[in-house]
Amino acid sequence: MEIDFIIFNIPVIILEQGALAAGFLASLFYIRALDLRAYGEMIKDAAIVGAIAMVLFVPIVGLVLKDRSLVFQIERSLMLVGAVAVGRLHISGAVRARVGIRILWRLALVGISETFAFFFFPEPQRNLIVLVVLVVLAIVFALEALLRSGEKLDSIGSKIMGAWPAVISRAKGRQGYLMFFLVGLLVLLPFEPFINSENPFITDYHLGTLTQTLIYILLAMGLNIVVGLAGLLDLGFVAFYAVGAYGYALITLHLGEFGIGFWWALPITASLAAFAGCMLGFPVLRMHGDYLAIVTLGFGEIIRILLVNMIDFTNGPNGMSAPRPTLMGLEFTRRAKEGGVPLHEYFDIPYDATYRYVFIYLVALALALAAIFVFRRLREMPIGRAWEALREDETASKALGINHTTVKLSAFTLGAAFAGVGGVLFAANEGFISPSSFTFVESAIILSIVVLGGMGSITGVIIAAAILTLLPELFRDLQQYRMLGFGLAMVFIMIWRPGGLIKVRRRAFVRRDSARGASNPALGEAD
Amino acid sequence: MFTIGDPLIILAQQLINGLILGSIYGLIAIGYTMVYGIIGMINFAHGEIYMISSYLFAIFLALVGLFGVSSVPVALLITLVVTLVITGLYGFSVERIAYRPLRGSSRLAPLISAIGMSLVLQNFVLLSQGANTQIFPSIYEGVLRWSMGSKDNFVQITYIQAMIIGVTVVSMIALNILINHTPLGRACRATQQDRTMANLMGINTDRVISLTFVIGAAMAAVAGMLITFNFKSFDFFIGFVAGIKAFTAAVLGGIGSIPGAMLGGIILGLAESLFAGLVNTDYKDVFAFGLLVTVLVFRPTGILGQPEVEKI
């Protein structure tokens, strides 16, 4: 999707100038609030960080190897060094400042990032960066308001956010309606091109992207079981995704003549992936955190190498084609394969390629909703409690009689089954799969969705999946910075907000209604 | 390379190749094992540090050339020192940014942060230097050959490969002196045994941990420079596989033990070379990872490792 930059330019300029002014204002407040020594310390800190950054960045960023010689881009590296030093200044400022001023400091960051982007990037990307920073800041603000709604704030910030708690509590009472409305909207969304057929807002490409987002939600729910609930860091999750995708392609290729299509392949492949998960689970039962992470990483690589090298079976690096799904035996192609009936002929309507996208989207939506439902139920079930107990303290949970073998294996198995379903959907959506789709990067993306969303959380993971898959689509020019951004986000989320965007609150037994003297304790609400 | 020849020659040649590969794995593994020994976490970004050192080495060699240093040994010496220092600084910075703020948090947090850091370093290099494979100039070409019987049957070792073994031995000796015979090394060992107690005895454990990262990064830099010298090409992605392999080596030798890391590296290098030479090249990585799983299942403490006693 292209953004019209000329329209965006003016508000962006106004915003960045406003942000700079706000930052300036903040620093005035700030000097008054601090004694000079603290100010000096901040500058000293920033200077040291800047010096280290200079040594680190000038060689790699500033001197680019090309044909055994060097291309000098010193200016670029110095900009980066400057940005790091200023960023450090801001962080120490924000840490020391009061909440209200902190918000102004953040606005100043927008100004700084704009100045930085101005020198560092060419015209279109420049505005995009400011836009991304603004979007991220808006999300941070909204979440902060959400999370702090109960706390009393002592500054300007509280007055701005004062209106939030009422909105939130009103929304909470109507959560059911809200969910119903949202799901309804998502179901109706793909039919927009048929109603508005002259100038559809939603294209096939959009539907494909949204389907991919739903697949990521499904995958993230699976990994959320393993990492979020059971606390087992699985870095080879993509292996099960690959098993799902290749399982689907192979099953329909070899067993297609017996009438095994998409719908039969779905449970078969899910069980295959679950079996693979169980197989991986056995050797790693006794390992804890770090060993487990590296073994699963190795497992993911093994699967990928096998896919590349078993050319007779998987067609090696050239990949395989995967058939499209069917609806009750009806196909979504213009002309059916022998024996098949295309959908548009059956219903006697004109052929439209969009039908297929709509159908896969709806299937993915249904499966993603099912995954969310299953995850929700699992979390409440005894097995879910056992996973969480195991995550918190393995020894104590063993002492309480939890069989850690079955509990760990079930986490791996169920998580892998989710990934298997995701793999089938991926193959059906793309129509073509190759080993290059199943590298470690894919595992890292799914992991960062879970980590950013909040381990064990549902809402957070959905939001994170939407942000991490749709944002790079919106800002295609910045796509090359995507993995860098994911990595930075993983580091800083762990440092500043280890619970993720939406932290799962610990459940506790609370009396729901003490006034009536009812003694039945009810579970406190989670996310 | 060797052409025809009987299996014995192939075996001998593969043993030499394995020894060289193993020295590199061992050098990288030292970084993993030292960090694990002291703070009990896997530094996932370590492989990327090794990758960065390759880039730094090539960049500074080119830069020194541009400044008009024509003598090859002098240029190499300058480059070597600068690369070691800057790579060490990378190790230091990674610890400061990604790990120190997370000390004392849950077990999962530093791991995830480490994976994030590894993605950051990899993409940072990719974005600054581009995705293309870099070529390193050929210096000190030449081979030593031992003929066996006829002229076509020989075992060979290049000067650079001989140098790799030499440099590895020298660095191991230097590291051994540093750890076992200096006050700094004593502080290191004390911190490894009991961090709280070492702190109470007046050791600045934060500084020791930083030092561990710097030493580990420097060792990885030695490995990175040697491998660049040997293979004459590298890209931004070499750290990933090298990292997993070196970790395997560290586990094989017994994580936490420095001689174990070197031993594990050499065993892994030999095993991998023999497998590649005698069985199948395509699956040598699968073999290495399979070895890792086998060791972890049957002997998690490795060859020289101390069994970990979990206190409750």
Which residues numbered 246-265 in B keep a CB inside 8 Å of some CB on A?
247-248, 251
Residue A163 lies in a domain: no
From chain A, the residues in CB contact with B302 under 8 A are none
CA end-to-end distance (rounded Å), chain A: 33
Asked if B127 and A309 come within 8 Å (Cβ–Cβ), the reply is no
Residue B2 lies in a domain: no
B113, B123, B297 ranked by CB distance to A491: nearest = B113
Choose, out of B289, B299, B310, the residue to mutate when testing the contact with A (most A CBs < 10 Å). B289
What residues pair up with B154 in beta bridges, in sequence order?
Answer: B147
Residue that the structure tokens 């959506």 belong to: A429
A62-66, A124-128, B72-76, B274-278: range with lowest mean pLDDT: A124-128
Q: Is B118 on the interface with A (CB under 8 A)?
A: yes
Average pLDDT over all residues of chain A? 76
Residue range A361-390, pLDDT digits in tens = 888 999 999 999 999 899 888 999 999 898
- The count of structural domains within chain B is 1
Enter the tokens of residue A90: 């801001």
Residue A444 lies in a domain: yes
Closest approach of A84 to chain B, Cα-based (Å)? 12
Residue A177 lies in a domain: no
Q: Which residue range forms the structural domain that includes residue A304?
A: 198-527
Give the predicted TM-score (pTM) of the model. Answer: 0.82
Q: What is the pLDDT of residue A335?
A: 61
Dihedral over Cα of A364, A369, A372, A374: its sign = negative
With cut-offs at 50, 70 and 90, classify the pLDDT of residue A526: very low
- The count of structural domains within chain A is 1
SS3 A70: strand
Asked if A68 and B286 come within 8 Å (Cβ–Cβ), the reply is no
The DSSP letter of residue A436 is G
Give mean pLDDT, residues B269-291: 86
Residue B104 lies in a domain: yes
Phi, psi of A357 (to 5 degrees): -65, -40
Residue A143 lies in a domain: no
Q: Which residue range forms the structural domain that includes residue B223?
A: 31-247
Residues 6+ apart with CB under 8 A from B279: B287
Residue range B186-199, pLDDT digits in tens = 999 999 888 889 99
Residue B308 lies in a domain: no
Which residues numbered 75-104 in B keep a CB inside 8 Å of some CB on A?
86, 89-90, 93, 97-98, 101-102
Please indicate whether residue B234 or residue A519 has the higher confidence score (pLDDT).
B234
Q: Could you tell me if A418 and A221 are in contact, meaning their C-beta atoms sit under 8 angstroms apart?
A: yes
* Minimum Cα–Cα distance from B91: chain A residue: A56
Asked if A64 and B135 come within 8 Å (Cβ–Cβ), the reply is no
Q: What is the pLDDT of residue A158?
A: 45
Residue B284 lies in a domain: no
Closest approach of B169 to chain A, Cα-based (Å)? 28
Q: CA A83 to CA A96: how far, in whole Å?
A: 20
What CATH number is given to the structural domain containing A463?
Answer: 1.10.3470
A149-153, A436-440, B243-247, B257-261: range with lowest mean pLDDT: A149-153
ipTM score of complex? 0.87
Residue A71 lies in a domain: no
Q: CA B309 to CA A511: how far, in whole Å?
A: 42
Q: Is B128 on the interface with A (CB under 8 A)?
A: yes
Residue A297 lies in a domain: yes
CA distances (Å), A392 to each of A389, A398, A429, B108, B117, in order? 5, 11, 38, 11, 25
Is pLDDT of A463 > 60?
yes
SS3 B70: coil
Residue A420 lies in a domain: yes
Residue A294 lies in a domain: yes
Q: Could you tell me if A74 and A57 are in contact, meaning their C-beta atoms sit under 8 angstroms apart?
A: no
Residue that the structure tokens 């701005």 belong to: A160
Interhelix angle B159-181/B7-39, rounded to 10 degrees, is 30
Residue B64 lies in a domain: yes
Q: CA B238 to CA B55: how far, in whole Å?
A: 11
Enter the tokens of residue A413: 């198995």
Residue range B68-112, pLDDT digits in tens = 877 888 888 999 999 999 999 999 999 999 999 888 787 788 888
